[in-house]
Amino acid sequence: MHSLSPEQLIAGIRKSQRDEPDSGILRAVNHGFGRDGLIPLWTGEGHLPTPQFVCDAAVESLRAGETFYTWQRGIPALRAALAAYHDRFWPGPFSPGRFFVTGGGMQAIQIALQLLLDKGDEVIVPSPAWPNFPGPMRMMGAVPVFVPMQFEDRTWSLDLDRMRDAIGPRTRAICLISPSNPIGWVASRDDLIAIRDMARAAGIWIIADEVYGRFQYDETVERAPSFMDVCEQEERVLYTNTFSKNWAMTGWRIGWLQAPEAPGPAIERIIQYNTSGTATFLQRGAVAALEQGDEFLGLQLAMARAARDRAAEVLGRHEGVSFELPKGAFYHFFRLDGLDDSLAAVLCIIDDANVGLSPGGTFGPGGEGFLRICYLRDPASLDEALERLSRWIASRNG
Ligand SMILES: Cc1ncc(COP(=O)(O)O)c(C=O)c1O
């Protein structure tokens, strides 16, 4: 008899994999997915499908027979398009040799972590933070060291001294998501300089997630402040990014990593042994997004701005609800007075109001007591979701 019980099989997998809790976002999605009439505001995506010109480029590639193994780092056309795209918005010039095409932003993060971290190494993570950074760190035996941000007078702030104090002998990197998912905070140029200087002084890396860099609401500029403004190209900074958000391509699973040139061969090996590259037809679609996608992004931004303001107006009417108006990304992260189990609340909102939210507690220290909604939706379904949520909050208050 070689058949093992479920317990025996689970006992045989790595402890760090076994012990990692499910993301609260996933718990919410699994609880409510597919329910009739549910309005899903739980994950970070809007309602618009990928623009047609992007899909056409991918289909054309398949029809042309681009169905074979491809470059580990990405096809030259996409890496050149990434360099040209960066030249347009950030101080360059950027060479294609800095860019690696990945299976979504998520795989860019995995590569960055695999490149840098040994068991027991620490990474500084300001929180609340998107759980898909600390989760994979723990699963590889590394340790996220959270630096909780302050929420006072409806304003989020990062205590740089506290961040500096958190750096120890095992610290290998600082991970910064700006604009932030979930809180919509945007690091100032001065914040970035301060973080750069602490990383330089400690000889550690920066992992910069600037996925929402162009999803920001300061109309006087085209993008948020970036580590690319204040760092050299050949220093210890890795940028993780994705096509998912700007061009409504979440289901495509394609993103990119930007890195100094020297670790390029090591990064290429990680790609080789993880995925062996990203499908060529996806990459052709990505080229079209970079080269022709400005108008679509402008449209999404206008929609996001209106939705942000609409959601703020409705949520702001309720006693006991507090939040800062997001400066970037497309989430409201709001506190509900007296809430101490955000996951239970989210499951209850799914059952009672048929709206999908994410629990604040899953975003790490400082997140419990909050809920997150993704407001990048068409006005009619956003209004309906806000109406349902309002009724739920009112019944809770009443
Ligand atoms: C901050 C941040 N980084 C990276 C990603 C990864 O995006 P994807 O893996 O869909 O490309 C997301 C998606 O929600 C995100 O919010």
Of the chain, the percentage scoring pLDDT greater than 90 comes to: 96
Give the CATH number of domain 68-293: 3.40.640.10
Q: How far is CA 241 from CA 104, 209, 210, in A?
A: 8, 6, 6
pLDDT digits (tens, 9 = 90+) for 333-384: 999 999 999 999 999 999 999 999 999 999 999 999 999 999 999 999 999 9
Q: What is the DSSP string of 219-256?
A: TTSSS---HHHHS-TTSSEEEEEESTTTTT-GGG--EE
The predicted pLDDT at position 397 comes to 74
Report the C-alpha gap between 190 and 278 in whole angstroms. 36
Ligand 1 centre to CA of 106 (Å) is 6
Tell me the CA–centroid distance for residue 289 and ligand 1, in Å: 17
**For the segment 249-290, what is each residue's pLDDT rounded down to a tens digit?**
999 999 999 999 999 999 999 999 999 999 999 999 999 999
Ligand 1 lining (C-beta closer than 6 Å):
44, 104-106, 130, 177, 181, 209, 211, 242, 244, 250, 255
pLDDT of residue 103: 97
- State which ligand 1 atom lies nearest to the alpha carbon of 109: 4
Q: Which of the four pLDDT bands, split at 50, 70 and 90, describes residue 1?
A: confident
**Considering just the CA atoms, what is the radius of gyration of the chain in Å?**
21
Average pLDDT, integer, range 140-153? 97
Architecture of domain 6-49+295-397: Alpha-Beta Complex (3.90)
Ligand 1 centroid vs 278 CA: distance in angstroms?
Answer: 17
d(CA 366, CA 340): 12
The two counts, helices (H) then strands (E), for the chain are 15, 15
What local confidence, expressed as pLDDT, does residue 230 receive? Answer: 98
Mean pLDDT over residues 110-132, rounded? 97
User: Helix 104-116 to helix 264-274 angle, to the nearest 10 degrees?
Assistant: 120
Q: What is the mean pLDDT of the segment spanning 107-119?
A: 98
Q: Concatenate the DSSP letters of all residues of 161-184 into one string.
A: HHHHHH--TTEEEEEEESS-TTT-
Provide the pLDDT for residue 396: 82
CA distances from 146 to 29, 34, 138, 300, 342 (A): 25, 34, 12, 32, 19
Rounded to the nearest whole angstrom, what is the distance from the C-alpha of residue 242 to the centroid of ligand 1?
Answer: 7
Whether 6-49+295-397 shares its CATH topology with 68-293 is answered no
d(CA 176, CA 127): 10
| DSSP code for 216 | B
Task: Give the HSE-up count for residue 179: Cα atoms under 13 Å, Cβ half-sphere.
Answer: 20
pLDDT higher than 80, residue 398? no
Domain boundaries, the chain: 6-49+295-397, 68-293
pLDDT in tens, 207-223: 999 999 999 999 999 99
What digits encode the pLDDT tens for the residues 180-193? 999 999 999 999 99
Among left, alpha and beta (phi > 0; psi -120 to 50; other), residue 376 is: beta
Q: What percent of the chain has pLDDT over 70?
A: 100
Tell whether the model's pLDDT for residue 237 goes beyond 90: yes
Averaged confidence pLDDT in the chain = 96
Beta carbons of 7 and 18 less than 8 angstroms apart: no
User: What residues contact 303, with CB distance under 8 A and at least 6 apart?
Assistant: 46, 376, 378
Tokens representing 84 are: 């040209």
Strands 143-148 and 99-102: unpaired
Amino acid at the residue 227: F
Average pLDDT (140-145) is 97
**Residues 292-339 pLDDT 10s:** 999 999 999 999 999 999 999 999 999 999 999 999 999 999 999 999
| For ligand 1, atom 8: residue with the closest CA | 105
CA 75 to chain centroid, in Å, comes to 24
78: confidence class by pLDDT, cuts 50, 70, 90: very high
Q: Where are the beta strands (DSSP E) in 243-389?
A: 255-258, 321-322, 331-336, 355-356, 358-359, 370-374
Counted residue by residue, the chain has a size of 398
